[in-house]
Structure 1
């Protein structure tokens, strides 16, 4: 268990550092070519490698962070029954979108995000759907368990709120990745919503609803019983990725793009923090036993995680 926590923290730190280096490269280094030309040959090669592979690295580390977290906190079954539908269904949606324009609009991926599946979709894109989608869904489901609602309403609410938070992230991600000086994908025609077609937003929400609904069916009605401390990793991943897109959007695009950035904060960041805050402050020993049983780990003796109290 301690080794898994160490791996999880290492991946989260690497994910954060990779995003920070990406920001520095996009905002400070690339706009100043004299700095690059002043580097020795080795430095120029290293910089070129980091810019061409940086996107792949930060997405892989984000996916590894959430995978390690899900296995440790939720168990093997819940981890796989979310990850597999998220990756398969989001890849199908992206392949359909890049081929036909449905459900996101006419768009195509450029270079910088790794090998393209079928020559259309970088293999890292379904991984990003997985790790951000799972962060959103776990926050929504665990947070809503503290709200007095019928079970069915909490389950549907978790899918709806999780998908909304995922879509809200796209409010800053798409402008940052498609309309700045160094894009990673492009829309064939600029849409009415700050360069994005409205169906891109409905496509994001719909894709999230589909794979979160499939995962919810596998997970069943049993509560997650996660404490606030146990939700810190998904909250951190969400906030870090929001900050990455928001800083690029605000720094490189004109003042109009403060509007989608503000909408992203209101519809994504604020709910994420509120859901984390209203979650149970600590997990009781009885709740921990329920989680362990759901994970089929009765025969193991993991250390009691942070946030567990003997009540």
Structure 2
């Protein structure tokens, strides 16, 4: 278990560092490339090549580290069965929605991915996109589930966790869309820019509907798993969520898109912190946070 905790922490640090370097590149290097090139008259080709490679590979590295961190965390806290019961529907349903979206325009609108996020499945959707849907969706749903104490057999709690989890997930996209499609180094573009800072309103309905769908499937597959997790055990998904929103918000704010960021704050950051705080504190929280040893016998019983 200790080795898993160490690997999880390294992956989480790598996820955050990759975002930090990517942020520096997008906000400092790319906008001032001409000035930097004038200082490197003998190394212009090398500089241009390094910028293109680092920007193209940075997004992939970032997402893979996020996938690894959340996957290890999920396995360590809820077990393999529940991890796969969330991961497989999340990846399959989000990929299906993305392929439909890039191929037909439903449910998000008419858009296309550029080359900054890795190999494209069917030439349309980068393989990293459904992976990010998984780790951000899992982080959002788990925090909502624990806060609403869905281990009690109450379908209203289950529905509430799905609705809140999908809201948190979609709130991430408020800041993400202008950052990824309206800046100097876009990762996708809209064939017909929408009314909301270049994004069609239907895109957010598509995000909410898709995330609510795979969270609903996961909730059915989980079958009342008795998630008796505390605040200390939810720190990793909280950090993953906040760091991803912060990355998108920093880019959007740099280009003056403060309204989408404000919406992400109102519907994402504030609620997720409140929901995290609703989780029960534990007398073992300090020990668990320091050692990574999870004392969660209820999950073990549910997995038998």
Give TM-score scaled by structure 2 length: 0.91
* Contact in 1 for aligned 2:153/2:224 (Cα 8 Å): no
Matches within 5 A, 1:250-265: 250-252=253-255, 254=256, 257-265=257-265
Q: For the residues of structure 2 that align with 1:175 and 1:43, how far apart are their CA atoms?
A: 27
Q: For the residues of structure 1 that align with 2:266 and 2:108, how far apart are their CA atoms?
A: 23
From the superposition, tell whether residues 36 and 4 of structure 1 become closer, same or farther in structure 2 (CA, over 3 Å): farther
The corresponding residue for 1:288 is 296
* Residue 113, structure 1, aligned to residue 114, structure 2: no
* Contact in 2 for aligned 1:75/1:295 (Cα 8 Å): yes
From the superposition, tell whether residues 190 and 48 of structure 1 become closer, same or farther in structure 2 (CA, over 3 Å): closer
Matches within 5 A, 1:5-84: 5-33=5-33, 34-36=35-37, 38=39, 40=43, 45-84=49-88
* Residue 219, structure 1, aligned to residue 232, structure 2: no
Q: For the residues of structure 2 that align with 1:43 and 1:192, how far apart are their CA atoms?
A: 37
* Contact in 2 for aligned 1:159/1:212 (Cα 8 Å): yes
Matches within 5 A, 1:237-252: 237-252=240-255
Greater displacement, 219-228 / 46-55: 46-55
Q: CA deviation at 1:36?
A: 4.7
* Contact in 1 for aligned 2:22/2:55 (Cα 8 Å): yes
Q: For the residues of structure 1 that align with 2:20 and 2:194, how far apart are their CA atoms?
A: 29
* Residue 165, structure 1, aligned to residue 168, structure 2: yes
- Partner residue of 2:155 out of 132, 147, 152: 152
Q: For the residues of structure 1 that align with 2:299 and 2:136, how far apart are their CA atoms?
A: 23
Q: Say what the alpha-carbon RMSD is for the aligned residues.
A: 2.0
Task: Write out per-residue CA displacement over residues 278-307 of structure 1, whole angstroms, 9 at most, x where no aligned residue.
Answer: 10111779x7221222244xxxxxxxxxxx
Q: For the residues of structure 2 that align with 1:288 and 1:261, how far apart are their CA atoms?
A: 36
The corresponding residue for 1:273 is 273
Give TM-score scaled by structure 1 length: 0.89
* Contact in 1 for aligned 2:150/2:226 (Cα 8 Å): no
* Contact in 2 for aligned 1:178/1:184 (Cα 8 Å): yes
From the superposition, tell whether residues 195 and 44 of structure 1 become closer, same or farther in structure 2 (CA, over 3 Å): closer
* Contact in 2 for aligned 1:37/1:44 (Cα 8 Å): no
Task: Write out per-residue CA displacement over residues 167-196 of structure 1, whole angstroms, 9 at most, x where no aligned residue.
Answer: 000000011000111110011111122221
* Residue 181, structure 1, aligned to residue 168, structure 2: no
3-state SS of 1:31 partner: helix
Task: Write out per-residue CA displacement over residues 61-91 of structure 1, whole angstroms, 9 at most, x where no aligned residue.
Answer: 1011110000000100010010011001100
Matches within 5 A, 1:171-210: 171-210=174-213
Q: For the residues of structure 2 that align with 1:115 and 1:207, how far apart are their CA atoms?
A: 22
* Residue 137, structure 1, aligned to residue 141, structure 2: yes
Q: CA deviation at 1:51?
A: 1.2
Q: CA deviation at 1:47?
A: 3.5
Q: For structure 1, list consecutive stretches of 5 or more residues without a partner in the other structure.
A: 297-311
Greater displacement, 129-138 / 218-227: 218-227
From the superposition, tell whether residues 44 and 190 of structure 1 become closer, same or farther in structure 2 (CA, over 3 Å): closer
Greater displacement, 43-52 / 85-94: 43-52
